[in-house]
Structure 1
Amino acid sequence: MKIAAIEVFGYQLTYAHGEYVMSGGRAAQSQASTLVRIRTDDGQEGWGESSTLGGTYLPAFAEGIRAGIQVMAPALLGLDPRNLSVIHQRMNALLLDQQGAKSAIDIACWDLLGKAAGLPIAMLTGGIAQADFPLYEAVPLAAPEAMAEFVRLRSLSGINRFQLKVGNDPFEDALRTRRVIEACPADAVIVADANGGWNLQAAMKAVSEMAGLNVLVEQPCRDTADCALVQRMSSLPLSMDESVTNAAELYRAKYEANACSVNIKLARVGGISGAIRMRDLAQDLGMTICIEDVWGGDVTSAAVAHVAASTRPDALLHASFFNDWTREHVAGYQPRSVQGRGKAPMAPGLGIAVDAGALDAPLFQVAG
């Protein structure tokens, strides 16, 4: 099996609940997503997806994702997509970092590997450790009562895990957190996620105001070292996200910042390959893990589902299905959550069928 062509498609993903708001005024009603289809010389095809959350969440943006793929794609023609090690060696020889672009290609290669093996990806990434798993939903930053009402409404769908957006005024953020906790049952899992939005002083004030609440604090500051300083002042458990980009940063998160949990996003670590490597390290370190991506639709949700399903139940805090958060569906709204829980599709590869006919013409194609 050899890569014969790589096609890149673009489409918009509209947020299902109006406007997605994070700290620092970062907000959007829709996001651009990039789909990759890899065609092989024996007539097979694999799909991958990568979507940034605007251009200010991570050092990545939609046009950069597409440009990165265009640079790497010619060098991948003729390679066996099932040989992920060689695929990544070739991509890394051409571009430093650019993990979002590499992630879309990586996911498509895993889709092809699973199809060739006749197995779902989860069976190839450690085996299916859990038939289903808990999902969380993000609560956009808003007035405290509005965030509490969002939680009450989404709880009707069976969701019992929420990541509320904070990272602005620390006193208002503490009030937001209290109102959300009051709106949830006692066994709910609540994460107050600043997305690195607090400076050091604001973060220290926020964790002081939240002391005693049943909540995890996620990525209070942008840098791991600053998060470590904040954690020394806090009695709340810490989860890390944006600054954990490799194994060294994962060790720093645990042993310098005293984090007990880590959020692993596929596009931040180069796709499924990077996610399972980081996942296995985090499990060995005794940390809990959130498995997700930066943003995305059906293809992203399927990729996340396979990594989550092959994660040990005691280690998986929760995952996210972004196709529950967005209106557009390229694979028939599969996989789909049920009462706040998700499953990995059991057909070979990603286990979903992308409707290429519903997409616009490719943005570009690279073929041999």
Structure 2
Amino acid sequence: MKITAIEVYGHQLTYAHGEYVMSGGRAAQRQHSTLVRILTDEGVEGWGESCTLGGTYLPAFAEGTREAVRVMAPSLIGEDPTNLVAIHQLMDRSLLGQNSAKSAIDIACWDLLGKVAGLPIARLIGGIAQPDFPLYEAVPLASPADMAAFVRMRSEAGISRFQLKVGNDPYDDAARTRSVVEACSKDVVIVADANGGWNLQSAVIAVRELAGLNIFIEQPCRDTADCALVQRMSSLPLVMDESVVNAAELYRAKYDAGAVSVNIKLARVGGITGAVRMRDQAQELGMTICIEDVWGGDLTSAAVAHVAASTRADALMHASFFNDWTLEHVAGYQPRSVRGRGKAPEAPGLGIEVDIHTLGPALFRVEK
């Protein structure tokens, strides 16, 4: 099988609950997703997706993701998309980093590999470790009362795991967190996620103010070393996210920062291939894992579902289905969550069918 063409599509995703707000004034009502379609000489095609949170969350942005695909694509024409090692070597020879763009191509290649093998991706990356798995939902940064109301509303839909957006004034963040804790039953999992928004002083104040609550703290500071300093002054279990981009940083997250869990985003580590590698390393280190992505729709949710389903139940903290958080759907709103739980599609590849008619014309096409 050979790649004959690579197409890139733009896809706007509207947040289902109005405005998505994080620390530092980062807020948006919609995000611009990038969809990659890989066509082959055997008539089989694969789809991938990568969506950034603007340009200030990670060192990636929608226009850069698309241009990076344009730069890498010529080196992939004529290559076998099911040979993932060779595909990544070619991408790495073209561009250093640019994991957001590489993730979309990687996911599309896994979709093709699964279709050729006649198996869902989860079967190819370890097997089905659990038939379904818990999902979390993010709670946009707002007033304590509004965040508590959001949690009550989503609890009615069966969600029992929440990631609270904090990372501004530590005293205000403590009030937000306490309000949500009071609105939840004791068995609800709550993660206060600063997205690296606190400086060292604010983070120390925050963990002091939050001491004694049954919660996790996620990425209090941008740098792993600063998170380690904060954790020495905290009794709360630490989750690491944005600064963990490779195996060395994962090791530092556990042994330097004392993290018990890591959040793995596909676009941050280069797709399903990187996520599975880091997932397996984290499992061996005895850490728990959240499997998700930066943002996305049906394609992203399907990719996340396969990685989550093949993760050991004792190691998976939770996952996310971003197509529950967004209004637009390219694959019939599949996969679909049920009462706060998700499962991987059972059809070959990603296991979902993209309706190309929901998209506009391709932004560009690369072929011989």
Same fold per superposition (TM over 0.5)? yes
| Equivalent residue number for residue 329 of structure 1 | 329
1:110-152 deviations in Å (ceiling 9; x for gaps): 0000000000000001000000000000000000010000000
| Equivalent residue number for residue 217 of structure 2 | 217
Matches within 5 A, 1:225-240: 225-240=225-240
TM-score by length of 2: 1.00
SS for the counterpart of 1:243 is coil
Shift of residue 358, structure 1, vs aligned partner: 1.6
| Equivalent residue number for residue 96 of structure 2 | 96
SS for the counterpart of 1:10 is strand
Q: How far apart are the structure 2 equivalents of 1:251 and 1:93?
A: 26
| Equivalent residue number for residue 268 of structure 2 | 268
SS for the counterpart of 1:157 is coil
| Equivalent residue number for residue 314 of structure 1 | 314
Q: Which amino acid aligns with 2:359?
A: L
Q: Which amino acid aligns with 2:300?
A: T
Matches within 5 A, 1:275-286: 275-286=275-286
| Equivalent residue number for residue 42 of structure 1 | 42
| Equivalent residue number for residue 9 of structure 1 | 9
Shift of residue 287, structure 1, vs aligned partner: 0.3
Matches within 5 A, 1:244-255: 244-255=244-255
Shift of residue 306, structure 1, vs aligned partner: 0.1
Of all paired residues, the percent bearing the same amino acid is 78
> Is 2:164 aligned against 1:164?
yes
| Equivalent residue number for residue 118 of structure 2 | 118
> Is 2:22 aligned against 1:22?
yes
Q: Which runs of 5+ in 1 are unaligned?
A: none
Q: How far apart are the structure 2 equivalents of 1:121 and 1:50?
A: 18
Q: Which amino acid aligns with 1:34?
A: T
SS for the counterpart of 2:146 is helix
Q: Which amino acid aligns with 1:230?
A: V
| Equivalent residue number for residue 190 of structure 2 | 190
SS for the counterpart of 1:88 is helix
Q: How far apart are the structure 2 equivalents of 1:8 and 1:251?
A: 35
SS for the counterpart of 1:277 is helix
Shift of residue 357, structure 1, vs aligned partner: 1.4
Q: How far apart are the structure 2 equivalents of 1:347 and 1:12?
A: 26
Q: How far apart are the structure 2 equivalents of 1:34 and 1:177?
A: 34
SS for the counterpart of 2:291 is strand
Shift of residue 11, structure 1, vs aligned partner: 1.3
Q: How far apart are the structure 1 equivalents of 2:10 and 2:79?
A: 24
Shift of residue 367, structure 1, vs aligned partner: 1.0
Q: Which amino acid aligns with 1:278?
A: M
| Equivalent residue number for residue 180 of structure 1 | 180
Q: How far apart are the structure 2 equivalents of 1:348 and 1:294?
A: 24
| Equivalent residue number for residue 290 of structure 1 | 290
Q: How far apart are the structure 2 equivalents of 1:172 and 1:81?
A: 50
1:322-341 deviations in Å (ceiling 9; x for gaps): 00000000000000100000
Q: Which amino acid aligns with 1:336?
A: R
1:233-286 deviations in Å (ceiling 9; x for gaps): 000000000000000000000000000000000000000000000000000000
Q: Which amino acid aligns with 2:223?
A: D
| Equivalent residue number for residue 134 of structure 1 | 134
> Is 2:216 aligned against 1:207?
no
| Equivalent residue number for residue 243 of structure 1 | 243
Q: Which amino acid aligns with 1:125?
A: I
Q: Which runs of 5+ in 2 are unaligned?
A: none
Q: Which amino acid aligns with 1:305?
A: A
1:7-65 deviations in Å (ceiling 9; x for gaps): 00001100000000000000000000000000000100000000000100000000000
Q: How far apart are the structure 1 equivalents of 2:266 and 2:336?
A: 19
| Equivalent residue number for residue 365 of structure 1 | 365
Q: Which amino acid aligns with 1:39?
A: L
Q: How far apart are the structure 2 equivalents of 1:171 and 1:357?
A: 49
SS for the counterpart of 2:365 is strand
Shift of residue 304, structure 1, vs aligned partner: 0.2
| Equivalent residue number for residue 53 of structure 2 | 53
> Is 2:62 aligned against 1:62?
yes
> Is 2:143 aligned against 1:143?
yes
Q: How far apart are the structure 2 equivalents of 1:304 and 1:125?
A: 12
Superposed CA RMSD: 0.3
Runs of 4+ displaced beyond 6 Å: none
Q: How far apart are the structure 2 equivalents of 1:367 and 1:155?
A: 48
Which segment is superposed worse, 179-188 or 263-272? 179-188
Q: Which amino acid aligns with 1:239?
A: V
- Count of matched residue positions in the alignment of Structure 1 and Structure 2: 368
Q: How far apart are the structure 2 equivalents of 1:314 and 1:199?
A: 33
